[in-house]
Structure 1
Amino acid sequence: MNMEEKEQIDVLIVCALKDEFQQVLQIKEGICGTGWVEKTLASGRLAADARFLGRDNIEISVRVTWASYMGREEASALVHSMLSESDFKCIAMTGICAGRRGKVSLGDVIFAERLWSYDSGKLIKEGDIEVFQGDMLQYRPDTEIVQRMQNLSVDLSAWPISRPKYPLENQENWVIQCLANQIKPFEHDEFDSKCADWQSVLARLLKKKLVTRELTLTDSGLEKANELNLWHPKGLPEPEPFKIHVAPIATGAAVVEDSGLFSRLSHSMRKVLGVDMEASALGALGNINRIPVLVVKAVSDFGDTFKDDQYRHFASQASAQCMLRFLRDNADMFTHHHKVESMNVSTDDLIGFLAEEYPDISDARALWKRAGGRNSDIASNSRPKDMWLNIWQKSINGAAVKPTDLLNIVTHDYPESDLIKSFLTQLSVNKKLY
């Protein structure tokens, strides 16, 4: 297929897992037209497309899909297949990763400013000892993109998923302090807020052999309590607030449960904050095809034995939110130049268009019903303009069919109408009007 025959899409977002893909589809802010449209591509792969309004009225198109399996090989094959079908200006990846304990908090987002495979290299023997010699072939975005990453800020209050208040580890520490003070945790006034995940916390404390089934501290538990009191004599600190980091992410072939991994990685890459199983493959593909690669991962665990699954969905959502916010804020860098020119379309222009294209009451009722309304909502009127003025007033005054619902259906019938596109853009830019 020749380049000119390919469909032009600005950004391809690849997820390693379906639940990460589904979190991307939760993003509605700034979305244009009909929203996310799920489809089956010519290759048979499932994907979803959407357009977003970016800064300076630049429209950015996005296609998102997910890999059937985790790992570099699957991610590489998937992106190669997608590139054979469409022309993308940017390859991106969202999802979860392991984070470096003490440097990041659960739920934090990492924008990758360097990518490499930490398990690529040579394994030799020195006597009876195996020694690994790594090859740190790095992939990194342009410095202008990194600067834009460093400038990003987001508003968590607008997200559909809230960040869990206390990680399981914080809840464990609270229970240990209660027991050290001869207080049964479930009798404490703050039990419901400080230890909302009691069963999971108790199971972890028992597995770590910090408490007994009689809810007394073991010797290891007493040692832990003394350590907590030493470092926090005035009480346990609150969890760190959500942060966005711009730092290296390393890629390896295996799911990590190794508390010493980041310590080893930091010997050769001191600022490394994340580990995943796919990102370096995308970096290599982007480098070969001269396409910028954006990897935005959120921390769901610390790469050790004790995972905290309550952060998984939030981390996937945080990654997707930050990626789409970044793309919208920086649409000038990642688009095929789809700037939406303002036509200063008036309501009179819109009513005139609707009256011309849907002049009969049967046409108007059919359109209204397709948008989610009922035929009985629309009163008969022999004058098309008066009829549509009444319909429009109904939509902006609290009817089940909102203005954007109605116009999104019109775009199905008239996808090339600049007037409808411009009016939808005005609604997106100034939502408080309707």
Structure 2
Amino acid sequence: MNVLIVDDQYDGKIKSVSRILRDLGVSNVKHVMSSFDAISALTKNRYDLLILDLHIPQRLGDEIDSDGGRSLLQRIELDPKLNRPTTILGITAQRDAFSSAQAFFADRGWTLLLDADGSAIHDQLNTILATQIAHLTKVSQECDVFIITALAHTELEAVLKLPCTWTSLKLLDRPEVYYEGTFMDRDGQSRKVITTSLPTMGMAAAAAISAFVCATFTPQYLIMTGIAAGIPNKVNLGDIMIAAPSWDWGSGKLTVKDGKPQFLSSPVQVPLAPELHALMSSIAASKRYVDQIYLNWKNKKPTHQLAVHVGPIASGAVVLEDPATVELIRAQHRATIGIEMEAFGVMTAAYYSGNGGPKALVVKSVCDFADPNKNDDWQEYAAYTSAQFAFEILKSELAFDKG
């Protein structure tokens, strides 16, 4: 969780607060010394807890404003460009200021403490912070978007290069490494994004982690980025593919006919949400974003222009280098554009999380064609185009709930 402290001094009070926070396991603490610096911090980042002195200057070096803290809080309430903290704790050593601000804090459900001698409230402060942090720890895990990748190298690396001011996020009793960041949506609202990679490739890991993500982080959108095999003559190297629908190509019955094994497919398809399908199809047709994404890549890249394709993508349990198996999969859906190993798990977990669950979107780019010529030459470029396109969608296209 993130904490912002606003106080013009680093005295015994702030040292005590910082020590208590550290003992409670809170490490992401920022201390600023003026209203101006607090506004700057709240413009860039989202904080779970704001702790402030009521007597603070407008700018560092100015005279102390006896009503500076309350003025800052009023600015936070009125300015839509500022990220409102989840909760607020005020501390003052001035009895008059405490009395005049008590009703202001109480009306908003915030806490105001009187620290007349700088040490008397230590035990009370410890109790309050411990209670608030226990509540906020769950709240701070919530996010607007969760991005999953299969691979830590290449795929997650491409996501962590997105300009989201990433910081590490360690969850107790979880082996995965998580990162959280922020971005501005199309309405100028700061949004929280969390990302991780799977412990292993495949649908089982993708479904398990996605189900945990849906229950723990309650994102509005669950997005998977990364690399996949494309179908020749349908897509080109580096092209961006949107799964619509996804299914497990190995689902069915293996029987014997005329003495030979025969596979009878019986896939269950998970569709892309209708509004996302319409949006992605519109973007693909208009070729939005792809030219700039292509131009921004300064390393080796294909000579053909980048494109977006919306279509069926099959998931399976094996890495394919067999054109015959690819043809078998294409027979299950003649419009198939790609094959990979995780999309069905991600989309299934989101689908079965219920009406309150996230909308799932799988954005994978072509790095090979699942044939004997398969190699790693285009993985970095494909991971880049996938992550960059997903980010453009997040910034400029997706509709988020207000708040």
Question: Do the two structures share a fold, i.e. TM-score over 0.5?
Answer: yes
SS at match of 1:241: coil
Determine if contact 1:163/1:311 at 8 Å carries over to the other structure.
Answer: no
Q: Which residue in the other structure is 1:286 paired with?
A: 350
Q: Aligned pairs, how many? A: 259
Code of the residue aligned with 2:209 in structure 1: it is L
For 1:320 and 1:273, how far apart are their aligned partners in 2? 19
For 1:165 and 1:142, how far apart are their aligned partners in 2? 32
For 2:289 and 2:181, how far apart are their aligned partners in 1? 21
Q: Give the 3 Å change call, closer, same or farther, for CA 310–141 of structure 1 in structure 2.
A: same
Out of 273, 297, 303, the residue aligned to residue 161 of structure 1 is 297
Determine if contact 2:291/2:305 at 8 Å carries over to the other structure.
Answer: no
Q: Give the 3 Å change call, closer, same or farther, for CA 80–43 of structure 1 in structure 2.
A: farther
For 1:300 and 1:240, how far apart are their aligned partners in 2? 14
Kindly, what percent of the aligned residue pairs are identical?
28
Tell me if 1:9 matches 2:143: yes
Q: Give the 3 Å change call, closer, same or farther, for CA 131–164 of structure 1 in structure 2.
A: same
Give the Å deviation of 1:63.
Answer: 0.7
Code of the residue aligned with 2:402 in structure 1: it is H
Determine if contact 2:210/2:350 at 8 Å carries over to the other structure.
Answer: no
Q: Which residue in the other structure is 2:171 paired with?
A: 41
Give the Å deviation of 1:57.
Answer: 1.6
Code of the residue aligned with 2:326 in structure 1: it is F
For residues 83-122 of structure 1, what are the alpha-carbon distances to aligned partners after superposition, in whole Å with 9 as ceiling and x for unaligned?
3422111211000000001211111110111100000111
For 2:229 and 2:372, how far apart are their aligned partners in 1? 12
TM-score, structure 1 as length reference: 0.56
Tell me if 1:27 matches 2:162: yes
Determine if contact 2:255/2:261 at 8 Å carries over to the other structure.
Answer: yes
Q: Which residue in the other structure is 1:210 paired with?
A: none
1:304-383 → structure 2 map (5 Å cutoff): 304-332=371-399, 335-338=400-403
For residues 200-225 of structure 1, what are the alpha-carbon distances to aligned partners after superposition, in whole Å with 9 as ceiling and x for unaligned?
xxxxxxxxxxxxxxxxxxxxxxxxxx
Tell me if 1:127 matches 2:194: no
Which deviates more, 154-163 or 87-96?
Answer: 154-163
Tell me if 1:110 matches 2:241: yes
1:205-216 → structure 2 map (5 Å cutoff): none
Give the Å deviation of 1:140.
Answer: 1.1
Out of 181, 189, 193, the residue aligned to residue 62 of structure 1 is 193
Which structure's residues are more often helix, by fraction? 1
Give the Å deviation of 1:163.
Answer: 6.1
For 2:299 and 2:239, how far apart are their aligned partners in 1? 10
For 2:311 and 2:299, how far apart are their aligned partners in 1? 22
Determine if contact 1:249/1:276 at 8 Å carries over to the other structure.
Answer: yes
SS at match of 1:68: coil
For 2:299 and 2:219, how far apart are their aligned partners in 1? 33
Give the Å deviation of 1:313.
Answer: 0.3
Give the Å deviation of 1:54.
Answer: 1.6
Give the Å deviation of 1:72.
Answer: 0.8
Give the Å deviation of 1:156.
Answer: 4.5
TM-score, structure 2 as length reference: 0.60
Give the Å deviation of 1:267.
Answer: 2.1
Q: Which residue in the other structure is 1:193 paired with?
A: none
Q: Give the 3 Å change call, closer, same or farther, for CA 71–262 of structure 1 in structure 2.
A: same
Q: Give the 3 Å change call, closer, same or farther, for CA 43–85 of structure 1 in structure 2.
A: farther
SS at match of 2:250: coil
Give the Å deviation of 1:130.
Answer: 1.0
Determine if contact 1:54/1:328 at 8 Å carries over to the other structure.
Answer: yes
* Greater relative contact order (CA < 8 Å, ≥ 6 in sequence): 1
Q: Give the 3 Å change call, closer, same or farther, for CA 99–48 of structure 1 in structure 2.
A: same
Determine if contact 2:211/2:353 at 8 Å carries over to the other structure.
Answer: no
For residues 360-383 of structure 1, what are the alpha-carbon distances to aligned partners after superposition, in whole Å with 9 as ceiling and x for unaligned?
xxxxxxxxxxxxxxxxxxxxxxxx
SS at match of 1:64: strand
1:264-279 → structure 2 map (5 Å cutoff): 264-279=328-343
For 2:203 and 2:330, how far apart are their aligned partners in 1? 22
Q: Which residue in the other structure is 2:323 paired with?
A: 259
Q: Give the 3 Å change call, closer, same or farther, for CA 267–145 of structure 1 in structure 2.
A: same
For residues 225-284 of structure 1, what are the alpha-carbon distances to aligned partners after superposition, in whole Å with 9 as ceiling and x for unaligned?
xxxxxxxxxxxxxx4321111111100000000123332222231111110111101111
For 2:234 and 2:382, how far apart are their aligned partners in 1? 16
For 1:84 and 1:145, how far apart are their aligned partners in 2? 22
For residues 21-41 of structure 1, what are the alpha-carbon distances to aligned partners after superposition, in whole Å with 9 as ceiling and x for unaligned?
11101112xx4xxx1112212
Tell me if 1:80 matches 2:211: yes
SS at match of 1:57: coil
SS at match of 2:326: helix
Determine if contact 1:262/1:272 at 8 Å carries over to the other structure.
Answer: no
Q: Give the 3 Å change call, closer, same or farther, for CA 250–163 of structure 1 in structure 2.
A: farther
SS at match of 1:85: helix
Give the Å deviation of 1:67.
Answer: 0.7
Give the Å deviation of 1:160.
Answer: 5.3
Code of the residue aligned with 1:303 in structure 2: it is A
Out of 291, 295, 303, the residue aligned to residue 370 of structure 2 is 303
SS at match of 1:9: coil
1:228-239 → structure 2 map (5 Å cutoff): 239=303
SS at match of 1:95: strand
Code of the residue aligned with 1:85 in structure 2: it is T
Which structure's residues are more often strand, by fraction? 2
SS at match of 1:150: helix
Q: Which residue in the other structure is 2:309 paired with?
A: 245
For 1:269 and 1:131, how far apart are their aligned partners in 2? 18
Tell me if 1:18 matches 2:152: yes
SS at match of 1:56: coil
For 2:362 and 2:301, how far apart are their aligned partners in 1? 26
